[in-house]
Amino acid sequence: MFAILAAIGVMFGLSLARVPVVFALIIGAVTGGLLAGLGLQGTLEAFNNGLGGGAQIALAYGVLGAFALALARSGLPDLLAYKLITALKGDATAKARNRVKLILFFTVAMAAVSSQNVLPVHIAFIPVLIPPLLSVFNHLKLDRRLITCLLTFGLVGTYMLVPVGFGAIFLNDILGSNINNFGKDYGFQISYDQIPAAMAIPVLGMFVGLLTAIFISYRKPREYKNVHIEASASIADEIDTDQSGAPKIAKFTLYMAAFAVVATLAVQLYSESMILAGLVGVSILSFAGIFKWKEADDVIISGMRMMALVGFIMISAQGFASVIEATNQVPALVEASVQWIGNSQALAAFWMLLIGLLITLGIGSSFSTVPILAIIYVPLCIQFGFSPAATIAIIGTAAALGDAGSPASDSTLGPTSGLNMDGQHDHMKDSVIPTFIHFNIPLMIFGWIAAMVL
pLDDT tens per residue across all 454 residues of the chain: 678 778 877 877 776 676 776 788 788 888 888 888 888 888 888 888 877 766 776 777 677 777 777 776 776 666 666 666 666 555 545 555 677 778 888 888 888 888 777 777 677 677 667 776 777 787 778 888 999 999 999 988 898 898 887 888 889 888 998 899 888 888 889 989 899 999 999 999 999 999 999 999 888 888 888 765 544 444 444 555 555 556 666 677 778 877 887 887 788 777 767 778 778 888 888 787 776 666 667 777 776 776 666 677 767 777 877 787 787 776 776 677 677 777 788 988 888 888 777 777 656 667 777 887 888 888 888 888 899 999 999 999 988 886 777 766 778 777 887 788 777 888 778 888 898 899 999 999 999 999 999 8
- The Cα–Cα gap between 403 and 200 comes to 17
What is the four-CA torsion angle of 180, 182, 188, 190, rounded to 10 degrees? -20
pLDDT of residue 367: 75
- What is the reported pLDDT for 105? 85
The 8-class DSSP code of residue 438 comes to: I
Give the model's pLDDT for residue 210. Answer: 93
Reduced to 3 states, what is the DSSP secondary structure of residue 165? Answer: coil
Q: Are 345 and 381 in contact (CB under 8 A)?
A: no
The whole-number pLDDT of residue 388 equals: 92
> Which residues 6+ apart lie within 8 Å of 187 measured at CB?
none
User: Cα–chain-centroid distance for residue 293?
Assistant: 32
Q: What pLDDT score does 150 carry?
A: 92
Query: What sign for the dihedral angle of Cα 213, 215, 220, 224?
Result: positive
Q: What is the predicted pLDDT for the residue at 135? A: 73
Distances (CA, A) of 93 to 22, 101, 223: 49, 12, 17
Burial class (CB within 10 angstroms; exposed 0-12, middle 13-18, buried 19+) of 122: buried
Write the burial class of residue 44 (CB in 10 Å: 0-12 exposed, 13-18 middle, 19+ buried). middle
Three-state secondary structure call for residue 226: coil
According to the model, what pLDDT value does residue 232 have? Answer: 42
Please give the span between the terminal C-alpha atoms of the chain, in angstroms, as a whole number: 30
> What pLDDT score was predicted for residue 233?
43
**Contact assessment for residue 117 and residue 373, using Cβ atoms and an 8 Å cutoff:** no
What SS3 state is found at 247? strand
For 60, phi then psi, to 5°, come to -60, -40
> Three-state secondary structure along 305-348?
HHHHHHHHHHHHHHHHHHHHHHCCCHHHHHHHHHHHHCCCHHHH
Closest residue by Cα to residue 6 from 38, 48, 45, 49: 38
Q: Which residues contact 185 (CB under 8 A, 6 or more apart)?
A: none
Amino acid identity, residue 170? F
Distance in angstroms (rounded) separating the CA atoms of residues 410 and 341: 34
Q: Based on C-alpha coordinates, what's the Rg of the chain?
A: 22
Among 235, 368, 373, smallest CA distance to 311 is for: 368
- Inter-CA distances, 133 with 103, 113, 120, 219, 414, Å: 13, 18, 22, 18, 15
Q: How far apart are CA 436 and CA 140, in angstroms?
A: 25
pLDDT at 209: 93
Which of these, 65, 63, 64, 57, lies nearest to 371 by C-alpha position? 57
Q: In 3D, which of 131, 133, 139 has the Cα closest to residue 92?
A: 139
What phi, psi does 355 have (nearest 5°)? -65, -40
